[in-house]
Structure 1
Amino acid sequence: MTPNTLPPDLTRWNRAGLSRFDYLDGHGAAWLERLRHDLAQAFPGWPLWAQLPAPPADPSTETEDERLQRLAALYAADPDDLLWQLVRQFARSAHVLGVHLDAQANEGYLRTASQWDSLRRLLAVLDEAPRPPASAATPLALLLKPGLAGTVAAGLQVQHLPASGAPLVFETLADLAADAAFNTLYARDHLANPAWLAGSTLTLDRGVDELKAGEPLVLEDTQLQRLSAHRIEGVFTLPDGRSRVSISPAVPKTAALHFTAGHTLVHLLPKDRLAPRGPASEGVAEAGHSLQLAVPSGTLAAGDLVLVRAVDDKPRYRRIKAVHADRLVFTQALGALRLLGATVDRPVTVPLTDMAEATRRRTVQEDGTVVLLVYAAGDWSRLAGLWLSHASQLQSGTQTREVWPTYRCLHAKYVPVDTSRERLQPDDRPGYTALSVTWHPDTDDVPGDAQLELFNPQTLLAPPPGAGAWAVDSFLNASVQGHLPPALLTSASKQAAAGDLAVVMRAGQLAWARLASVAADPDRPQATLTAEKPWEDRGGGPWFLSRSTVFAHFKLQARVQDWQRNTTPLSGTWLDTEPLPPSLPLHRRVVVANGSAAVATTVEEIAPDGQRLRLADALPAGSTAGNLVLYANVVETGHGVARPERVLGSGDATRNLQQFTLAVAEVSWVADPLMAAGVRADLQLSVAGETWQPIANLKDAGPAEARYQVRLDQDGFLSLQFGDGRHGRRLPSGANNVRVRYRQGVGLAGNLPPDALAQLVKPHPLIDGLVQALPSSGGADREAPEDLRQRGPSTLLALDRAVSLDDFAQLARGHASVWQAASFRLPPGRGRSERIELVVMAAGGEPPTPALAAELQAFLAARALPGVALNVSGVQTQRFGLNVTVRVRSDAFDPEAVKAAVRAALGEAFSPRRRALGQPLYRGEVYQVVESVTGVENADALITVNAATRAALDRVVEVGGVPMVATPTPRQCLLLDTAALTLQHQEYSL
C-alpha cells in the first residue's frame, strides 16, 4: 500500500487516560514524503530525485525504523532546487497550521482546554463563570485604653508580619461603638479556686522565710468575711521555693463553715506579742482538782503536800497527785478559790507537846463548834487567826482516802520563858504557845458531815510566814456568752491598730477577732484592744494570763497554692459572670475564648441582676470558669487595604451591556451568600453619585434595577458589565461618571492562625491592643484550570439549587473558599425534616472554621428546600508515611537534586489539593509519581500506616505484610505526612 493510500488511524494515540485529544495525523516529514511520492509519479525524469534519498523498490521490505530514518534524511536534505524548497516549506507550514488547529480544537472542549480564557468562554456558553478568589476574614477584638469609649470607624488597619515577605494587612469592615468596659468580660469567680480547703497543711503561693512554729495564722474568707485562727505546727520549704505549713486544728470543712481556696487570705507573721492583763478573774466557785501556776513548778513533785492560799482567804491543804510543767493536779478538789493573789507553798509542821487539862482541853459550843487547846513549843503566836490542818483518813465502803480538814486557830498565846510566876495565867506555860483551835464540819473544807475534830494530835500543818513561793495564775474573764469580752487589757502595743487581726493563743486554744480600736493607756504601759465583733474561739479552756499571748498586726497576707485556678467546667449557652457593664446591649457580637478554642457569637439575653447572660451559641469545648474570656469590642476584619476612588469610565445610554475593566490585581472578595460563588468583589461603585449594587447574573436583574455583574478575566482583573434595559439598567450618559472604590488583598495567604494579627498599622487614640482569638478563614486563590474543568459541568447540573443530595456537594464545591465537599443523608431521627451532613475541606486543606461553616450554611440555605436541616462538618484528614528508595545514575544527575524533586513531587501529588475525599491510596500511584521524576531510573516504595490511622481507615489491604491499598472512609482524606517520608538513593546499575 502506498503512503498516500494509508487510512488515518486516530485511535492509536487517542486512548483513555490522556489529558487531551490529538487531532493531527502526521507531521512535516511524513507529509513531505507524500509530496515527494506524488511528484515522483508525476515527474519521473526530474533530476532532483538523484539528490534525494530513494525509497526501496518494494516498500513492504522497509522496516519502521528504516522508514523513519529515511523520512528524517529527506526532511533534512537541502538541495539547491527552488521548487523543492517551496515543497518542503509547504510541508512545514502544513505542520505548523495543523498543530495550531489541533490546539484550537482542544481549546474548544472543556475537558481538554488549557487556557484560562478558553475555559471562561466555554463556561460562559453554559452561563457559568470561573470561581473567583476569596479574601480571608476574622472577628477581631479591640482592647480600648482604660476609661475610654467611642466609635472606631471602618478601615482600621492591622497587620501580620510574616518571617519573610511583605506584611499582610487586614481592615475592619464596619464601624464599632467601642467601650473600654467591654474589653474583657469574665465568668463569675474566674480568678477564685472554688475548692474547699481541707486537712492540716496549707501550701502557700510563695516562700515565706520568717514563719515559726508556735505562732498563729488567720484564714480570712474575703467573700463572706469569715475568720479562723490556727496554730503553726511546722514549716517546710518545697523544691520550688514555696512554703508548706502544717497547722492545728485542721481547716474547718462544713457546710456552715468552710474556706475556699480562691477567697481565702492567709494572715501571717504577727508583729505584736502582747501579754494579756485583763479583765482577769478574781476567783472561781469550783476550781476542780487542778491549778495553774504563773511560774514554773520548780521542785514540786507528786506526793508533796502543799497549801493554796489567797489574800484574806482560807487556805486549802492538798496533796499533789501529778505535776505537768506549771500545772498541778491534786488528789482532792480545791472547791471555791480566790485566784487574785493566790499562791502555792509548802506548809510548815507545828509540833505539839500536849493538850490542856482535861477540863479545858475540849469544849463544844452551841453551834457545834469544837474548841481545842493545845500547846506548841516556841513562839507560834503568828498562827493566831490562821487556818491549820491535820491529816485524817475517811472510810468510804472498803476504801480509805486521805483528807486534810482545816482548823481555825482562834488564839495563839505565847508565854516567854522568863515570865514571872506572878504574871502567869492558869493556862499559861512558859516557853510554849497555847493554841486555841476550832473545828466545825461546815468549815473544815471536807465535804460531808464526818467527825474530823482533833484527838490528841502530835503535829499540825500551818501556813509558812510570808508570801507563797509559787504564784497561782488567774485567767481572763469570759463574757455573758462564754467567750472573751469585747475589750481586752494587754501590755503596751507598738504596731496594732484598728482593722488589724488579733489572736489570743494558749497552747492549742485560740480566740480571734478583728480589732475595732486600740487604745493606749497614757499612764501605764498597757493598751485596750476592742474587737469589732464578739471573739470567736476554739478550745474551751480558761485563758490563763501567764500561758496566753495576744498576737496582733499580722504583717503578711498570702494566698494558698493555685488560689486563682478555677477549673469548674462550663458548657451550654447560659453563663454566670462578674457584674456586667450596664451599657452592654443585647445582640452585641462577642468572641468567647478559652485558650484552646473560641467561638464568635452574640449576647441574646442578660439577667436583671446583670450577672448572668445567654449566648446565641454554646460555649467552646474545654471552657472553665478560669480560662473563659468574653471580648465584647468585636468587629469583622477582612484581608485587604482600601484604595482611593478611581474613575472607571464614562457611561453611554445608547449602548447595551456596557463593560469596563478594573485593571487592578488581587481585588478583595468578601463573603456573600447570594452570589453564585459565595463571595462578591469588595467594590463600592457609583454612577453619577448613585450607588449601584452587584448581582450574580444580570439575567436575574429587572429593567429598572441599578445592578452590575462582575467577572474575572485571565489576567486577574475585574470585568464589570452593566445592563441592557431588559436585564438591568443601562448606564446613563456622562463623562467619567462611573467611579469605583475597592479593597485590595486576596488569597490563601490571608488564612492566618490565631494571634497572628497583633499590631496596628498606625496608632489609634482609643485602642490599646488587639486579640485575634479565631483564625482568619475563607481566603482562597483563583480557581485553577484543572479545577474549572471538573467543577464547571457538575455545578451547572445543580442549577444553583440544592434539591438532590449531590447538589449540596456540587454547590459547596462552587464556593470560592471550598476545595472539596461531600454530602451525606443522615437519619431523620424523631423529626420529619431531612437531615444533610456536608463534609468540607476548606481552601488550604483544613476543616472549615466555625465562621466559614456558618457562611456555607447560609450559602446553601438560600438554595435548599425549606425545612432541610444542614450540618457542616470538617474533613477528617488521615496521614500516611512512605519509605522510598530511588536509583539514580550519579554520573548524569545529582542524587540530592533528584531526591528534592521526588520529595516535591510526592508532596504535591498527595496534597489536599490533589487528593479527593474517600480516595483510596494504591501503592502503584506512588511508583507512578516517583518514577515520573527526571533522573529516577527505578524505585522501591513502601506505604507506612501507624496503628491509630489504620484503625481510623475503612480498610488496609496487605500482601505479605506489605500495605498495597489504603482506603479511607467517605468522610476522610488520606494525605502524605511529609515528616514521615523517608527518602534515600542508590546508584543505578544493571
Structure 2
Amino acid sequence: MTRSLKIRTPQPVENRPGLDEIRTRVGTHSQFYASMLRRLADAHRPGLSDLRTRTEGDYTLGLFDAWAGVCHTLAFYAERDANEAYLRTATERESVRAHADLIGYQLAPAKAAGVHLAFEAEPGDAPDETLEYAPGLRVRSVPRDGETPQIFETVEPLTARAEWNALTPRLAYPQVLDADSETLSLTADVARVNAGDPILLMRGNMPVAFGEGEGFLRRVSDRSAGLDGRRIVALKADPTNPPPYVYIASLLVFPAWDANQALNSANLGAAVSGGSWTASALSTTTALNNIGLFTLNLAISSLVFVPPDPILPHAMRVQAGFFGNIAITRRTSPVESDTTAGLSGTGAVIFAGPSLSAGSYTTQQPSDILSTAGDIDEEGTPSSGRGFIYLEREFTEITPGQTILIRDATHEAWVSVHAAETQSVEGYSMSAKVTRLEVALSGTGPDGASVSLETFQTRTATVFAMPEALTLSDLPITAPVGAADGALTTFQVELGTSELLLLPGKTVIVTGELEELAGVVASEVLEIAENTLDKGHSILTFTTPFANRYVRASVTICANVAFATHGETVQETLGDGDATRPFQAFTLSSKPLTYVSARTASGMLPALEVRVDRVLWSLVDDFRDAGPEDPVYIVRHAEDGTAQIIFGGGQRLPTGQDNVEAVYRKGAGLAGHLEAHQLTLLAAKPAGLKGVTNPLPPGGGADAEVLEDARKNAPLKVLTLGRVVSLRDYEDFARGFASVAKARADWTFDGFDRPIYVTVAGQDGVELAENGDDMQNLKAALAEAGEADQRVYVQNYAPVEFGLEARLYVDAAFVPDEVEAAARAQALDVFSFDSRGLGQPVTRAEAMAALQAVPGVLGVDVDFLYRLGLGKTNEPHLVAAVAQPDLSGGLPIPAELLTLGEAALKLEIEQ
C-alpha cells in the first residue's frame, strides 16, 4: 500500500482561453489524504518517522482524514470563487451584478410593451364636438387560458371625434362624358333604359354631336348590371387614371383672409380657386380653432357644384312621327279661296289637309316661303319666324319651353318649342287629335349650323322629345390602397370626405384585407405628414410609405388613436425625509416598476416621478453624474424585481413627515405581449368613449435581464463608451438597446457609397414595430452616437425556418420514445432563436453532433436538411444571408436567422 502512494497535491492548473468554466482546484479529498500519508515516510520529515501505523481507527489517520476534508472543501470553494471572479464563468446573478457594477452597468429591469389603441367615440350632441382626454386612460385585456388580465395606460393625449372611428378611402370618382363617349354607367334606380333606346348627350340645353360628321342621336346597343348595383349601359372608363372633374372649388388661403369673419359661402366666394390647399398652411396663416375648422368644413361642403357645362346623358322618352307632311305656314298675301287648288304645292303648308284658314299665304315653293315673315294673329297663326308642326297624335308631355330633336334619314335639327296645344285635324282622308307645336323655322344641326325645317322629309322624319336626365353613377376605384395610383404615391391615401381637423403629426391606424392574401386582414400605424384638401377630398400624406397593399373597399382608417404601454399608475407616499441620514433609501411597494422606451443609450427609462415637499427630483444613472447640491436619486432593483429609490449623500432629503412621494407605474415584461384585439375593456368608461381595441399586437416588452443576457451585454457599455465608430460598435450599441435581443451590422453598397445596415431582432424573435418607439428611438440613438455623415439603416431581421429529417440508432438499453423526445428537445434547443445568430449558417455536421450528444444515441443518419419552401434536399450546409443591397433599388435586404421548424423536424428510431 505504501509503495503505491505518492504525493498528488497540488494538482497542476491549466485553462485554455474561451472556456465557460475554469478549473483551479488543486486537489480532492483522496488526493490530499494520499499526499499526507506519503509524507509520513518522507526522509526530510524525521519527526514523522515514528508514525508507522496505517490501520483504520488510528487517531493520526483520523486527523489526516479530517484535514483532507478541510482541504477538499477549501479547494472546491476556491475554484467556485475563481469562477465567480470572471464575467464569462460566473454562475451567480449577484456575481454578474457585481462585475457589472464595476463598469457602471446595471442589469436591465423588465420593460413594458407598447401598442397603439383605436378608440371608438360616441356621436355628441353638437356636430362639431371634439373630445379631449389626458394621458392615463386605462384599458384591460381579456385573458386567454392561463393568462391574467393585463392593464395598459395611454401615455399621450387623445383627441377623438365620432367620424374618425372608421374613415374610408375614396371609393369612386365621378363619371365625365365627352362628345366621343361611347359608354356610360348609370345608377341602379334609373329605370327603363333598354337596348335600342334613344340617348342624347347634352351640355346644358343643347345636345352634343357624337363626333365629326355624326349626328346628335345615340342608341343603347347593350346594357348589363354591375356587381355594385350600377346599371352598366356601356363599358366604364379605366379608374386608374380618372379624367379631371371639379366637384368643389378648393379654398386657397390668402394672407389677407380674415379668420374672424363669418365662414359662409358668400365670404368664401372671393377665396375660391381651382387649386388645392393644405391643413398646415391653413393653421399657420389663420387663427382658426377646431370649431372654426369644422365650420369651414361645412362651408366648403356647401360649395359643391358640377363643373361648368357638363355633358350629361338624357333618354328621349317621346318618339313621334308627323301628321301629313311638313309645310311652313307664312302669311304673306290674302287668300280668298278655302281650297289649296291655287297653290303650287302642299309642301308649304305645315299642317295636313287641303283646307286653309283665312289669311294670306304664299303660292311659292318652301324655299321662297322662308324668305317671308308673318305676324301673330288671334287665329293662331305662327309668330314671325316661326311655324307649326303637327305630330301624329296627342302628346301632353310636351310643353312650351322644351326642345325637341327632328331627325330623318339625312338631317337632324335641335328646335325650341314656343307653344304647344291639342287640335283636331283632317287630311289624307283621315282625321286625328294631335299636338300642334309652334317652332322656329330652323334649328341647330350637329355641326352647329342652322338647319331649315323645310329640308326634312315628312314621311321619314321623327320627332324626339321629353329628354329625361339620367343619373350617372360614380365609377369605382379598384386600385389597392397603399399602391401608387395616378398622382398618389405609396405615402398617400385619398379619403372619401374632407377632414380638415386631421392635422400633421396625428397618428392613424389603417386596417384592411391584404390584396395578395384574400381573407387576411392586417393593420399598420402611420403618422400624418400633411393633409391636403383637393377638390373636396382630403389627401393624407404619411411620413412613411404603406407597408401593405389593401383591397380598397375593405379599408378603414381610425384616427382616434393613442399610444399606450403596459402598466398601471400607482400613487404612493414613501415616507419621511431625514436630513441627518445620507443615502436614505425607500422601497416601492408595488412591482415590477414599469420601464418604457426612451431615446437613451439603454433604450428605456422608468415611468417614475419622485417629489420631495411637492418638488420634483431628478433621476440619474449614477451619483457621479450629478453635483453635490443637485436634487437627484438613483433606482436599483433587487433579485425579486423590487425597486429601491436611493437618495444621495450630497443633497440630502429635508426632514419632514410623509414628505417623500412617488407616482409610478407597475407592470412590465413579456406578459404584455398580447394578441391583436385583446385589449377591449375600458377600465373606467370615460364620457364620450364607446369602446377600444388594439388592431395590432403589443410589442417591445422584455423580461428582466437574465444571467446570460447580462453576461453578454455588460461589456457593451465600455466597448462603445457612448460612441459608435466601427462596424462592431454599431452592432454592440444596438444589442445593448432595450427590447433588442440580437443585432448584426454589415456594410452594404447602394451604388454610391457604403452605408451601414443594422439588422435587429426583439426578444423571443418578435419584430420591432417599424413605426414604434423602440425602432425610432434606436435609429435616433445610433444617429446621435455615430458619425454625422454615416448613413445607417436599421430594420428587422428575416426569420427563416429549415427542416431536418434523420434516423437515430438507439442503444437497446434505452427506451426509444424517451430517446426520441430528448433528441427532439435537443435539436429544437440547439437551433432555436435564442441559440442562433443573425447570418449564422447551419451545417449537416452540426445537426448530427447535436443529435449524437443525446444519451442513448449510437449513430445518426441525416436524410434531409433543407430550407422550408424550396423542396426537400439533403444539403451539406444551409446559408443564412447577411444584409445585402437590393438590386432593384429598394432598401437593403436584412440578415436572416435560421431556426429549426418544429413541424419540419422528423426523427426515425432504429435499434
TM-score class, shorter-chain normalisation, is 0.5 to 0.7
Tell me if structure 2 keeps the 8 A contact 1:590–1:602: yes
1:87-102 superposed matches below 5 A: 88=65, 91-92=68-69, 94-102=71-79
Q: Is the 8 A contact 1:597 1:620 kept in 2?
A: no
Where do residues 26-65 of structure 1 align in structure 2 (5 Å cutoff)?
Answer: 26-34=27-35, 49=55
Report the alpha carbon displacement of residue 113 of structure 1 after superposing the two structures with TM.
Answer: 0.8
| Other-structure match for 2:326 | 284
Conserved? CA contact 1:173–1:636, under 8 Å = yes
Distance 2:35 2:556 in 1: 83
In the TM superposition, what is the alpha-carbon distance from 1:338 to its structure 2 partner? 4.3
Q: Output the CA distance in 2 between the equivalents of 1:683 and 1:635.
A: 20
Q: Is 2:735 the partner of 1:733?
A: no
Which residue among 909, 912, 915 is the counterpart of 2:833? 912
Inter-partner Cα distance in structure 1 for 2:403 and 2:61: 123
User: Offset at 1:577?
Assistant: 5.3
Q: Whole-Å Cα distance in 2 between the matches of residues 528 and 91 of structure 1?
A: 137
Secondary structure (helix, strand or coil) at the match of 2:656 reads coil
Query: Is residue 205–residue 562 contact of structure 1 (8 Å, CA) maintained in 2?
Result: no
Verify: 1:925 aligned to 2:838, yes or no: no
Task: Give runs of aligned pairs for residues 542-691 of structure 1, distance below 5 A.
Answer: 568=485, 570-571=488-489, 580-591=498-509, 598-603=524-529, 615=541, 617-621=543-547, 631-643=558-570, 645-662=571-588, 664-674=590-600, 676-691=601-616
Checking the alignment, whether the CA contact within 8 Å between 1:205 and 1:561 is kept in structure 2 is: no
How far the C-alpha of 1:978 sits from its partner, in A, is: 0.8
Contact 2:405–2:413 (8 Å) recurs in 1: yes
2:123–2:688 CA contact under 8 A, matched in 1: no
Q: Which residue in the other structure is 2:882 paired with?
A: 969
Q: What CA distance in whole angstroms lies between the structure 2 residues aligned with 1:502 and 1:609?
A: 34
The one-letter code matched in structure 1 to 2:565 is G
Letter aligned with residue 134 of structure 2: A
In the alignment, the residues of structure 2 paired with residue 603 and residue 275 of structure 1 have an alpha-carbon distance, to the nearest angstrom, of 56
Q: Residue in 1 aligned with 2:763? A: 843
Give the aligned partner of residue 133 of structure 2. 152
Letter paired with 1:571: T
8 A Cα contact 1:642 1:744, kept in partner: yes
Match of 1:116 in 2: 93
> Once the 2 structures are TM-superposed, how far is the Cα of residue 564 of structure 1 from its aligned partner?
9.7
- Once residues 544 and 145 of structure 1 are traced to their aligned partners in structure 2, the CA distance between those partners, rounded to angstroms, is 69
Q: For the Cα contact (< 8 Å) 2:176–2:311, is it kept in 1?
A: no
Compared CA separation, residues 35 and 947, structure 1 to 2 (3 A): closer
For these two proteins, the number of residue pairs brought into alignment is 752
Amino acid aligned to 1:110 = L
Q: TM-score, normalised by structure 1?
A: 0.61
How much has 1:145 moved relative to structure 2? 1.9
Which SS does the other structure have where 2:582 is aligned? coil
Amino acid at match of 1:5: I
CA contact (8 A) 1:920 1:965 kept: yes
> 777-786 or 615-624, which moves further after superposition?
615-624
Q: CA deviation at 1:886?
A: 2.6
- Aligned partner letter, 1:681: P
Contact 2:407 2:413 in 1 (8 A): no
* Aligned equivalent of 1:819: 741
Query: 142, 154, 158: which is aligned to 1:161?
Result: 142
Corresponding residue number in structure 1 for 2:687: 765
**967-976 or 584-593, which deviates more:** 584-593
CA distance in 2, matches of 1:508, 1:913: 86
Which residue type is aligned with residue 926 of structure 1? A
Shift of 1:964: 3.6
TM-score by length of 2: 0.66
Report how far residue 716 of structure 1 moved.
1.9
CA distance in 2, matches of 1:480, 1:768: 72
2 CA distance for matches of 1:917 and 1:760? 40
Q: Where does residue 776 of structure 2 map in the other structure?
A: 854
CA drift of 1:121 comes to 0.8
Please state how far the C-alpha of 1:276 moved relative to its aligned partner: 6.4
State the alpha-carbon separation in 2 of the partners of residues 908 and 712 from structure 1. 30
Structure 2 partner of 1:180: 162
* CA 177–805 in structure 1, closer or farther in 2 if over 3 Å, else same: same
Residues 211-268 of structure 1, C-alpha deviation per residue, up to 9 Å, x if partnerless?
A: 854557899999xx99999755556689x89898566999999979999xxx999999
Query: C-alpha separation between the residues in 2 aligned to 1:665 and 1:527?
Result: 95
C-alpha distance in structure 1 between counterparts of 2:436 and 2:596, whole Å: 76
> Which one has the largest radius of gyration?
1
1:790-849 Cα shifts (integer Å, max 9, x gaps): 222233221122244432221221111111223345669879xx9543222233324432
1:377 alignment partner in structure 2: none
User: Which residue of structure 2 aligns with residue 350 of structure 1?
Assistant: none
Q: CA deviation at 1:754?
A: 5.5
1:60 aligns with none
Gap change, CA 1:255 and 1:268, over 3 Å in 2: closer
| Cα deviation digits, residues 9-32 of structure 1 (max 9, x gap) | 4457x4556421122244334444
CA contact (8 A) 2:724 2:786 kept: yes
- Aligned residue type for 1:145: E
Give 3-state SS (helix, strand or coil) of 1:650's partner: strand
1:277, 1:491 within 8 Å by CA — same for their partners in 2?
Answer: no
* Alpha-carbon distance in 2 for matches of 1:254, 1:843: 47
SS of equivalent residue, structure 2 residue 828: helix
The alignment status of 1:748 with 2:653, answered yes or no, reads no
Q: 1:146, 1:221 → 2: CA distance? A: 42
Distance 1:742-1:243 versus aligned 2 partners, 3 A rule: closer
State how far apart, in whole Å, the 2-side matches of 1:341 and 1:546 are.
15
Q: Is the 8 A contact 1:504 1:510 kept in 2?
A: no
SS at match of 2:732: helix
Structure 2 residue runs of 5 or longer lacking an equivalent are: 43-47, 211-216, 248-305, 330-337, 357-362, 369-381, 415-419, 423-431, 438-442, 514-521, 884-893
Report the Cα distance in structure 1 between the residues aligned to 2:12 and 2:671, rounded to whole angstroms. 45
CA RMSD of aligned residues (A): 6.1
User: Compared with structure 1, are the counterparts of its residues 904 and 96 closer, same or farther at alpha carbon in structure 2 (3 Å cutoff)?
Assistant: same
Q: Which residue of 1 aligns with 2:8?
A: 6
Residues 1:710 and 1:686: Cα distance change in structure 2 (over 3 Å) = same
Would the aligned equivalents of 1:266 and 1:560 in 2 still touch at CA under 8 Å? no
Distance 1:791 1:550, change over 3 A: same
CA separation of 1:981/1:203 partners in 2, compared to 1, >3 Å: closer, same or farther?
farther
Q: In structure 2, do the counterparts of structure 1 residues 565 and 796 end up closer, same or farther at CA, with 3 Å as the change threshold?
A: closer
Query: What amino acid sits opposite 2:881 in the alignment?
Result: P
